[in-house]
């Protein structure tokens, strides 16, 4: 039986786009982010625009076809999270990312909460049937510019949360529960500006967690943090998590 002296603290890793930039996936909101470079691109992932305009849907499917996200590989930061989990520290990942790289790195899927869904699946907006993204992209490559659901003929979309859609209340509820229970909350690669997800950092502090922020740019929650690291994520996060695995905090 373990005593309080040997009990390992629950660590919540809250990851944003910045954790995946070393894998070749662009940050959307950073200084060189996609939304800043091409505001029109935001329409491709805005629910009302997508549902009402077949041309937006066709452009969206081409964007998915050309996206590097499904071809990307986990980087040192994703791998560091897996090493921490395998060291015996209780770890839960709450991610804003839709790239699936935490799971691809070896993090058990049941320990990853994808707040904004996944780009690796598609969902029918009529019957809610889910299927593999690769299958839909094969149909696009074969000449279907806007593939419809094979079951009901409804409009297909990526199984991600588009602008104008609400987060899955079940996933968000689980994320809040983890946040309230954790003793260390590490926000990495997130601007902490997209609500309600970003508010988890404040909830963690309110419930007594130690808040550590690893991000290149300032965030609205820096003043609440016990530690703010501005170093590159690919080196800063592995060093931080190695210390946690050994039982030390910055």
Active site amino acids:
116
Closest to 221 measured CA to CA, from 200, 238, 207: 200
């Amino acid at each position: 039986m373990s005593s309080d002296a040997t009990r390992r603290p629950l660590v919540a890793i809250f990851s944003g786009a910045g954790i995946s930039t070393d894998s070749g996936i662009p940050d959307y909101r950073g200084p060189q982010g996609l939304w800043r470079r091409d505001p029109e691109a935001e329409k491709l992932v805005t629910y009302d625009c997508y549902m009402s305009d077949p041309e937006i849907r066709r452009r969206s499917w081409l964007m998915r076809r050309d996206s590097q996200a499904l071809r990307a590989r986990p980087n040192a930061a994703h791998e560091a999270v897996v090493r921490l989990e395998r060291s015996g520290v209780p770890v839960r990942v709450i991610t804003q990312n839709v790239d699936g790289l935490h799971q691809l790195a070896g993090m058990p899927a049941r320990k990853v909460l994808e707040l904004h869904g996944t780009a690796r699946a598609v969902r029918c907006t009529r019957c809610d049937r889910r299927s593999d993204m690769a299958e839909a992209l094969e149909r696009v490559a074969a000449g279907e510019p806007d593939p419809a659901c094979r079951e009901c003929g409804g409009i297909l979309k990526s199984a991600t949360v588009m602008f104008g859609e609400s987060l899955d209340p079940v996933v968000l509820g689980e994320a809040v529960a983890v946040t309230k229970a954790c003793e260390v909350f590490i926000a990495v690669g997130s601007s902490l500006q997209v609500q309600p997800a970003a508010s988890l950092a404040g909830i963690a502090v309110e419930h007594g967690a130690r808040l550590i922020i690893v991000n290149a740019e300032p965030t609205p929650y820096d003043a609440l943090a016990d530690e703010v690291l501005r170093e590159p994520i690919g080196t800063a996060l592995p060093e931080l998590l190695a210390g946690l695995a050994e039982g030390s905090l910055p």
